[in-house]
Amino acid sequence: MLEVNQSPQAGLSIAEAADRTGVSVHTLRYYERAGLVVTTIDRTSGGRRRYRQLDLDWITICTKLRATGMPIKTIRRYAELVSAGRGNEEERLALMEAHRADVLAKLAELENNLKLIDRKIDIYRGRLAAGDADHLWAPAP
């Protein structure tokens, strides 16, 4: 694992960072341009990005938030709050609690949808086992 305080030359290249975080090089560049990264990405004397463990950890947070449906605008706001440092913890907490509520609502909807799918599977299995699956409803052509 990389130390946070290593020199830029010792960090990971953008390709290595993409491999470690599971996102594309394009996504890493986008996150930086979009203001989603909380630190300035180190660069070599030749201008190539060098990622530290702190950067990788933050990118992982961003990808998890995005995967759970958090809008880019909200991730950007969260990154701004984190970058600003101490004193805004209540706003950060409120942001996370609101997102958690959204995720829970989406999970509940998915669970309801899954129940319908399970009922349909049970019907098909039962009808196939009974040998009368051809009596299942189908719209007339």
pLDDT digits (tens, 9 = 90+) for 10-56: 799 999 999 999 999 999 999 999 999 998 899 998 999 999 999 99
C-alpha span between 37 and 40 (Å, rounded): 7
What does the buried/exposed string (b/e) look like for 106-119 if buried means 16 or more CB atoms within 10 Å of the residue's CB?
Answer: eeeeeeeeeeeeee
Classify residue 28: in a domain, yes or no: yes
Whether 97 and 80 share a structural domain: no
pTM score, whole prediction: 0.79
Whether 98 and 81 share a structural domain: no
Classify residue 141: in a domain, yes or no: no
Give yes or no for residue 3 having a pLDDT over 50: no
pLDDT digits (tens, 9 = 90+) for 96-127: 999 999 999 999 999 999 999 999 999 999 99
Q: What range does the domain containing 13 cover?
A: 1-85
* Predicted local distance difference test score (pLDDT) of residue 1: 45
Among the residues of 34-141, which ranges form H helices? 53-67, 72-84, 89-130
Whether 80 and 97 share a structural domain: no
Whether 68 and 96 share a structural domain: no
Q: How far apart are the first and last CA of the chain?
A: 62
Residue 12 sits in a domain whose CATH number is: 1.10.1660.10
